[in-house]
Structure 1
Amino acid sequence: MENEIKVVDTKERSRYEALDADGSLMGFVDYRLHPGVISFLHAETLPDFRGRGVAGRIATKSLDDARALGLRVKPACPFYQDYLEQHPEYADLVKRPGEES
């Protein structure tokens, strides 16, 4: 199925990856895990897959996982900063400057 997107946490690479039905990499976000906090550093959708909602699917999965794990989110990546502004349902996850984790 052409629209199938599977998002996985590739812990050994510290990144979430979006894969198509054939297992080809579509996009990713690098992250750094700290006690109680996950920082999203760099999101990228590969050129052949842009405009298909790949980055949004990665963001949703990674933020849902952060919530399930009780982690605060530090959006260091511009894409995540914009995504969080557009999706207030995740606002409670955002770590504010100076806030304890």
Structure 2
Amino acid sequence: MSDVTPTVIRNDDKGRYEIHLDDTVAGYTEFHVDDHGRLVFPHTEIDPAFAGRGLGGTLVAQAMADVAARGETVVPVCSFVVKYLRGTDVPGLDVAWRPTADDAGSDRVDAADK
């Protein structure tokens, strides 16, 4: 299976982007639409049978590029997606960061999160 090129598809019915190797779903990153029409990404998972191949990075990179191309906004919650977006510029991607404890005034709530 190492010669198979992974493909990433958006599966709106399941609310996730999936990475496929041939007919096998090797992993996914979930999303749901919040009250403001933004895509919240809470979880990413790669099947342990496919670990160590860089599929998580490929999956998130292609998912974020697709979201940017669609003109949608991402709310990263999943630690893998957060780490990816903090270290990678995705041209045209609108990111709505949630406040963290490290932010000044960490007890404030973003109006968009109410």
Q: Give your verdict on TM over 0.5.
A: yes
Paired position in structure 2 for 1:49: 50
Identity of counterpart residues, as a percentage? Answer: 26
Structure 2 unaligned regions, length at least 5: 99-109
Q: How does 1:22-101 map to 2 (within 5 A)?
A: 23-34=23-34, 35-89=36-90, 93-97=94-98, 98=110
Distance 1:15 1:31 in 2: 5
The amino acid of 1:28's aligned partner reads Y
Shift of 1:92: 5.1
Structure 1 unaligned regions, length at least 5: none
Q: Bigger radius of gyration, 1 or 2?
A: 2
- TM superposition score normalised by structure 2: 0.76
Shift of 1:12: 0.5
- For the Cα contact (< 8 Å) 2:16–2:30, is it kept in 1? yes
Distance 2:91 2:52 in 1: 23
Q: Which has the higher helix share?
A: 1
CA deviation digits over 1:14-73, x for unaligned, max 9? Answer: 01111102x111110110023441111100111111111111111111111111121111
Shift of 1:7: 0.6
What stretches of structure 1 move > 4 A for 4+ residues in a row? Answer: none
The RMSD of aligned alpha carbons is 2.1
